[in-house]
Each structure stands twice: as C-alpha cells, then as structure tokens.
Amino acid sequence: MTSPASETCSVADSHELAVLTRSGFIESRHAGSAVVLDGVSGDITTSLGNPLAPVFPRSAMKPFQAVAMLTSGAPLSGEFAALSTASHTGSAEHVRLVTALLDEHGLTEDQLACPVDMPSDRDMVTEITRGFGQAQRRYMNCSGKHAAMLVTCAVNGWPLEGYLDPGHPLQRVILETVEGFIGEPISAAGIDGCGAPVYAMSLVALARGIRRVGRAQADATDERDRAAAVLRDAVIAHPFVTGGAGEHDTAIVSQLGVFAKRGAEGVMVVSAHEGTTVALKVLDGNLRAAGLVAVRLLENAGVVDADDAVRVRELFHTTVLGGGIPVGELRTTV
C-alpha cells in the first residue's frame, strides 16, 4: 500500500456537474470530478475536476469484490450473482433472495456481519411497521454481498467468523483482485458502512477497473475476466436485484442495457457495451445528480443516443415542484 491519502479532491479542484433551478433561479449546484475512458483504447477522453484525486468508491467497488468471490469458487449465477454486487432497497424480493442464498448453503442471518437496518423500500417498511417488526441484517442494503461472502467462505472452508477482517483469506483475495483490476496500489483503506474494508483509488483507476468488467468476455483466458463477464451479464439480466425501484443505476441498466453501479457519497460508474466507461464523484456526496451526469457523459461520448438519454432521465424525477406544479429542474452542466 502506498502512503495513506487523507482526503479526496478539494472544492477548488472540482468542476460543476449539475444545477437545480427553481423559478428561473439557480438554487443549488453540484460539483465534483468525472472521467470518461475510450471504449477501444481506454484513453481518457473527458476529464472534469480532478479525477486523479483518491475517492472511496463505496458500493461502486462491489463488482471487484464479487469477481473475487466468483474466482474463489462461489457458486453464484443469475440472480444470486447480481445479488452479490447489490446495494438493494430491501424489497420483499430482495429479502427473499438473501434468505434463499443463505438457506441453500446452510447459513443463517445471524452469521451476517453487516449491521441491522430497515429497508428503504416503502412497501416493505409499511409491511414491517404494520407487523410491529424491527430492523434486521437481511434488510441492510449490503446483505446480498455479505451473504455471498459467507457462501464463499463456506465453500472454501474459510472461517465464517471474522470474514470482514482485512487479514481474513476472503479479504486478502478481494484486495488482490481490486488492485489487479484498477492497475495501481490502493492509496488508503477504510471501513465501509456495512463493515467491510473499502479502498481509496482515483476515479481514473476505478474507471479502468469497471471498463474491464464492461468489456469482459465469457471465453477470456483470464479467470477474472470470465468471472467479470458472468457478473456483468447477471446485472444486465437482473437490474432490479442490484438496486431497486427508483435507484439510478437500476434505471440505467434496465433502460440502456449497460453495466452501472452506484456508490454512497455521490459515486457512479457506468460502462457501455463497447467499453466506453464513466466514473464520477459528486463532491457533496449527494447521489441525486450522479445518474443524470453519467448518462449525459455517455451521450456526449456518442454511445447513448438522445432519445434513449431522455427516456432514462424521465425516471430520475428531475422536475422541481412548487405548489404541486413544475417550476424548475435538476439538469447537468457538462
């Protein structure tokens, strides 16, 4: 590991990515950094702000964690492969899948090391409240990844307890996979909201790793590329599993058929079929503009046409209301 970085890019280094208008007045601005990599060469075609500054990708790092699990022999395919990289809303279907994955391998919810939480899915919250239920580990948005981690440990005979410890065999494989995909040593380490290790890297490095996932071939020589192809195809086939209703990455995947993953604190990555890849961080940590900006950058790169971009943006609820009528919008400035 290199010398620990202590912060991401500054306000001064950032670029305006989006604004929110109300009655003709710019009420809010979202600044940050973004990078676009060419689909063929992998070269940087767009650079906004400081994409070389380190960021914690948060859940946008889950694809690398999932690849590490797949290459370690985790028997994950279809919806379960998609679940391994999910940041789900805790809908009834998500909870069913997490429970089914654990049950299939003789594991229990109590063995999950993620914190207890309530779902963000409104219907599920209503159901739990009416039944006088309470927060559970399987409701936590990272419970699918944690269930997959337990499965990976079980099939390898690794300890089930302490699977989040950086020294655990699972986490050592994950770190090696992360560095292999991003092409550089990590710049700092931390603890994610779910308790798993999270590693700082530049947006350029993050985009490089996600581009590899987007371009992966099922018949590739490298085992990690084969696993990445399985993961990407599972996400595209099951976009709801990886997020849920109202989530920007789910909307992008379902409408455009490309690989996308959001991360907390304003991170979004998208990789199109031919490899054009976007990685961005909204500096204030708000995700409301992240999907909007990512789609605009793909449109600017010529890999998403205007009609498709409009169709996706309609799902992002960018209209600003005043007294119940439209008075403004959230729009990109890139």
Q: Which structural domains are found in the chain, ordered by start?
A: 15-332 (3.40.710)
Among 247, 208, 216, 248, which Cα is nearest to 234's? Answer: 216
Tell me the mean pLDDT in the region 284-294: 97
Task: Indicate whether 2 pLDDT > 70.
Answer: no
Q: How confident is the model at residue 65 (pLDDT cuts 50, 70, 90)?
A: very high
Q: What is the percentage of the chain residues whose pLDDT exceeds 70?
A: 99
pLDDT at 187: 85
Q: In what order do the strands lie in the sheet with 188-191?
A: 54-55, 197-202, 188-191
User: Mean pLDDT highest for which of 1-5, 14-18, 182-186?
Assistant: 14-18
pLDDT at 97: 98
User: Across all residues in the chain, what is the average pLDDT?
Assistant: 96
Concatenating the DSSP letter of every residue in 25-65 gives EEEEEEEEEEEEE-TTT--EEEEES-TTSEE--GGGGHHHH
pLDDT at 3: 47
- Tens digits of per-residue pLDDT, 200-225? 999 999 999 999 999 999 999 999 99
Helix residue ranges per DSSP H, the chain: 62-71, 78-83, 92-104, 122-130, 143-156, 169-182, 203-215, 223-237, 239-242, 248-256, 290-300, 306-313
Q: What is the percentage of the chain residues whose pLDDT exceeds 90?
A: 96
**Residue that has been written with the tokens 């022999």 in this structure:** 73
Cβ(136)–Cβ(185) under 8 Å?
A: no
Cβ(281)–Cβ(269) under 8 Å?
A: no
Task: Indicate whether 1 pLDDT > 50.
Answer: no
Q: How confident is the model at residue 4 (pLDDT cuts 50, 70, 90)?
A: low
What single DSSP character describes residue 216?
Answer: -
Its pTM stands at 0.96
pLDDT at 38: 97
pLDDT at 6: 83
Return the number of other C-beta atoms located less than 10 Å from residue 49's C-beta: 24
Q: How confident is the model at residue 246 (pLDDT cuts 50, 70, 90)?
A: very high
